[in-house]
Amino acid sequence: MEEVIEYIRYNNLGFLEENRSFKEITTLKVGGKIRLIYYPNSIENFLKFYNFYKKYTWPLLVIGNGSNILASDNEYYGVVVSFKKLSCLFYQINKSFYVFPQCKVSYFAKKIIPLGFCDIEYFAGIPGTIGGLVAMNAGCFGKEIGTYVKEIIALDKTGEIKIFTHDELDFSYRHSFIQDNLIVLVVKMEFPENSDIQKTIQNYQYLQNKRRIAQPINMISAGCAFANPKGYKAWEVIDKLGYRGKVWGGAKVSDKHCNFLVNCGGAKADDFYQLIASIKSDALKKMQIILKNELILINFQ
């Protein structure tokens, strides 16, 4: 890893941090040390880094706001890449937006609603970046972000930059082709127009309020732990199994919304891991339901 650090420093490819942990960079606030966090100072320099790094067998994780991640307590011996120090967030050409991955969706919504665009208000309460939202095909209130993606510019595993159209990204429920295959560099998005800006703002406030009532948004979490299985809501399954309010070490099933697992303070990643395993095992044994993680698990064996 010393060679990688040297390469980044010598070529002035960006900023580095060596003594951080997932606890500090994820919303769930758990997880072990990270060997290296790399903040590229330009996309071009990130590409240089990538093409140098790909000869090593160490892992690489691109992180957005870390709001959907459960990382293990073990040290992550690899590089976590964050684009958050890139300054350009998005630009507009005619009715299309070209959004950089580190742009928070809440910021983007606040900028484009006053321009007369709508539907983005459905996503504005998600604490993630456009890169993370598009990779996860994040959704809420019956909408999915993939609907608004026209194309992306991304890096594939071989280190080649390509344009991927909406259809090539294979969006489905909390899934896209991006996961495990691509690094998103720019997202081209289009939204419907509504000249009644006040109406969009009212809808935004209504949705924020709905979220506040239904979700433990003031607690430490990573959103929904499980995807909804066919024909069920994951929270209903967890509730029926008797897990509402269940505490496991420092982790807890939220009383307010059973699909949110919250950190009561001082939780270990392993507390969450075991709680998840227990819920899944009971769902299968007692209800014959396979629950799949919505959380992205990092660095578990």
Ligand X SMILES: Cc1cc2nc3c(=O)[nH]c(=O)nc-3n(C[C@H](O)[C@H](O)[C@H](O)COP(=O)(O)OP(=O)(O)OC[C@H]3O[C@@H](n4cnc5c(N)ncnc54)[C@H](O)[C@@H]3O)c2cc1C
Using CB under 6 A as the criterion, which residues of the chain lie in contact with ligand X when the complex forms?
27, 61-69, 101, 126-129, 131-133, 135-136, 138-140, 178, 182-184, 217, 221-223, 296
State the minimum distance, in angstroms, from the CB of residue 211 to ligand X. Answer: 7
The dihedrals phi and psi of 5, each to the nearest 5 degrees, come to -60, -45
State the minimum distance, in angstroms, from the CB of residue 251 to ligand X. Answer: 14
The encoded tokens of residue 44 equal 């071009």
State the minimum distance, in angstroms, from the CB of residue 108 to ligand X. Answer: 12
State the minimum distance, in angstroms, from the CB of residue 28 to ligand X. Answer: 8
CA dihedral 47, 50, 52, 56 (to 10 degrees): -170
Nearer to ligand X by C-beta: 60 or 197? 60
Pairwise CA distance, residues 65 & 84, whole Å: 9
Pairwise CA distance, residues 139 & 131, whole Å: 14
Nearer to ligand X by C-beta: 200 or 221? 221
Nearer to ligand X by C-beta: 113 or 126? 126
Pairwise CA distance, residues 251 & 278, whole Å: 13
Pairwise CA distance, residues 257 & 211, whole Å: 11
Nearer to ligand X by C-beta: 17 or 116? 17
In contact, 182 and 154? CB cutoff 8 Å: yes
Nearer to ligand X by C-beta: 176 or 200? 176
Nearer to ligand X by C-beta: 34 or 140? 140
**DSSP 3-state helix, strand, coil percentages of the chain (rounded to 5)?**
30, 30, 40
State the minimum distance, in angstroms, from the CB of residue 69 to ligand X. Answer: 4
State the minimum distance, in angstroms, from the CB of residue 115 to ligand X. Answer: 23
Name the residue among 271, 270, 224 with its Cα closest to residue 250: 271
